[in-house]
């Protein structure tokens, strides 16, 4: 319920993940998790009370582009491209695939499996705001990789451990190289000083208007004033 109140995008993704999970569980065990269903019924009722008056603006206008933007048209947000995403997460791909193999082998179609499956489908289709789903896909890849790594450690097989340590070593080298290459200030010292001085210039009840989205997080973090920002 708290998630419904705090962040709609995460709520929608977790709700879809739960729906996929419930479907997979019913197909494999012929049983439904009634507690999870009850939790979502209560959460949805609470969400309708909160967002009901805004339904036409938040939901109705969102449905059409959601299902009519296959291939990347209409994707919003200044995030990584899908190619860049796979480049940055390349060291998670192998353990993620191994984790998926273990899940299918053991018939463990849980929330981690469901969330990963949903993320792959969502980003691959390139629907509206698909780039925002990369964050959720990344999280579920990390969880699936953790599942696979735990299995490797428990198995105590030398070859698997060697591959694991080699992968971790290469990943460390990659991140060191990436950090060294991109270790440049993200904002000029003059701009940063100006933003920090806004709290001394703008009245306490004043509002800072930001015209450049690049500066938005800095104003959010250091201006100490209400803001209107892209």
pLDDT surpassing 60 at residue 70: no
Average pLDDT over residues 199-207: 90
Q: Which of 81-90, 134-143, 194-203, 220-229 has the lowest mean pLDDT?
A: 81-90
More confident residue, 128 or 139: 139
pLDDT surpassing 80 at residue 14: yes
Mean pLDDT, the chain, whole residue set: 82
Reported pTM? 0.69
* pLDDT for res 62: 58
Q: Residue ranges per domain, the chain?
A: 2-181, 189-228
What is the secondary structure of the chain as a DSSP string?
-HHHHH-HHHHHHHHHHHHHHHHHHHHHHS---HHHHHHHHHHHHHHHHHHGGGHIIIIIHHHHHHTS-GGGTT--SS---HHHHHHHTHHHHHHHHHHHHHHHHHT---HHHHHHHHHHHHHHHT-TTGGGHHHHHHHHHHHHHHHHHHHHHHHT-HHHHHHHHHHHHHHHHHHHHHHHHT-S-SS-HHHHHHHHHHHHHS-TT-EEE---GGGHHHHHHHS-SEEE--
């Amino acid at each position: 319920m708290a998630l419904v109140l705090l962040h709609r995008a995460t709520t929608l993704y977790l709700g879809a993940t739960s729906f996929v999970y419930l479907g997979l569980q019913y197909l494999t065990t012929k049983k439904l998790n009634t507690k999870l269903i009850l939790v979502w019924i209560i959460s949805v009722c609470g969400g309708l009370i909160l967002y009901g008056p805004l339904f036409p603006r938040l939901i109705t206008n969102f449905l059409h582009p959601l299902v009519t933007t296959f291939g990347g048209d209409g994707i919003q947000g200044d995030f990584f491209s899908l190619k860049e995403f796979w480049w940055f997460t390349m060291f998670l791909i192998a353990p993620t695939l191994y984790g998926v193999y273990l899940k299918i082998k053991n018939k463990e179609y849980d929330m981690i499996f469901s969330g990963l499956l949903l993320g792959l489908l969502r980003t691959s289709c390139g629907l509206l705001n698909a780039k925002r789903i990369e964050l959720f896909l990344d999280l579920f890849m990390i969880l699936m990789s953790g599942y696979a790594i735990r299995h490797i450690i428990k198995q105590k097989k030398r070859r698997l451990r060697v591959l694991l340590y080699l992968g971790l070593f290469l990943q460390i080298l990659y991140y060191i190289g990436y950090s060294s290459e991109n270790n440049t200030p993200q904002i000029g010292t003059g701009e940063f000083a100006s933003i920090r001085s806004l709290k001394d210039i703008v009245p306490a009840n004043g509002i800072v208007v930001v015209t450049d989205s690049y500066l938005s997080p800095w104003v959010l973090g250091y201006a100490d004033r209400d803001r209107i920002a892209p």
